[in-house]
Amino acid sequence: MVTSLPPGTLKGRTLAVSVSQSSDLARLGLSDEHLRLTLGEITRLVLGAGGHLAYGGHLDPGGYSAALTAEAARQGRSDHPVLVCLAWPEHRRLPLSELRTRLDLGPVGRVVCLDPAGRETDPAAGRGEPAETVDPDVARASLTAMRRYVRAHTDGRLLVGGRRAGFQGELPGLLEEALLSLDAGEPQPLYLAAGFGGVTVDIVRALGIDDCAWLPDDPDAGPDDPRLLTGLERLRAHAKAPGVSNGLTREENRTLAVSRSPGEVSALVALGLGRLAS
């Protein structure tokens, strides 16, 4: 299995990484640390091969963006290889002085703040020091706009975990990102690591990659959110149409979908990216 790619293999290529909490971790005997280890391994392999990473989220200390930039620093890259994208409500919810402090990632990364339409904006424009509350409808549209921005600035996407319920957008975040990757005129390579549960499991099932029968039923689960069901129905249409290659065979994609090993997941993603690059 791939443990590294030759230097420069992924030069000029950016992988979007979508890692989000999974309510299935405990039932799988896993913890949040497994998600962080996977993120670290992906960072090591992609940056080591000259590639870049993009993450749409927040800048809270202890969050996934902090874990990503910390691993990037360990890799010694100083050409801002990590792009963190903040949707409108994510930067407006912070006091301006605190936001300015968090925006400085040093040589390992840069942050772009987006307006409600997903355009880069000056985060200080039109506001004072206090944090602001964003209207829920504006917040939902802003999250979709941020995901479209990330889609337009990346060459592939990895999904790990993800909420099925309690999400803030029009759809569960990772499900919307999968649709944005596949709905475009030029579909984007998509890597699905469903072994950690979450909505990525539903995406894998909808695309016919694996039935994920290994995931125990959740006896406490309530009815599915209608927005989740609508999104999955849209996704099933892609299972019947020719897909875009992600550089992996059908069996390799199934292995990626069921793996709970951070090393194996990152190695398969690197393998696919390396094949596409060559």
- Structure-token pair, residue 207: 């695309």
Q: What is the pLDDT of residue 167?
A: 85
The edge-to-edge listing of strands for the beta sheet with 82-86 is 109-113, 82-86, 52-56, 14-20, 156-161, 190-193
Q: What is the pLDDT of residue 3?
A: 74
Which letter does DSSP use for residue 195 in this model? Answer: G
* Lowest-pLDDT choice from 22-31, 99-108, 183-192, 249-258: 183-192
**How does 92-128 read in b/e, with b if 16+ C-beta sit within 10 Å?**
bebebeebeebbebeebbebbbbbbebeebebeeeee
Q: What is the pLDDT of residue 244?
A: 67
Which letter does DSSP use for residue 244 in this model? Answer: P
DSSP 55-98: EES---TTSHHHHHHHHHHHHT--S--EEEEE-HHHHHTS-HHH
> What would the pLDDT profile of 57-99 be if each residue is shown by its tens digit?
999 988 899 999 999 999 888 999 999 999 999 999 999 999 9
Sorting pLDDT into bands at 50, 70 and 90, what band is 243?
low
Separation of alpha carbons 191 and 170, rounded Å:
22
Mean pLDDT of 229-234: 94
* Lowest-pLDDT choice from 61-65, 180-184, 200-204: 180-184
What single letter denotes the amino acid at residue 205? R
Domain extents for the chain?
Answer: 14-214+224-277
Q: What is the pLDDT of residue 242?
A: 57
Mean pLDDT of 112-128: 97
> What would the pLDDT profile of 256-276 be if each residue is shown by its tens digit?
999 999 999 999 999 999 999
Percentage above 90 pLDDT, the chain: 79
More confident site: 146 or 170: 146
Residue 199, pLDDT > 60, answer: yes
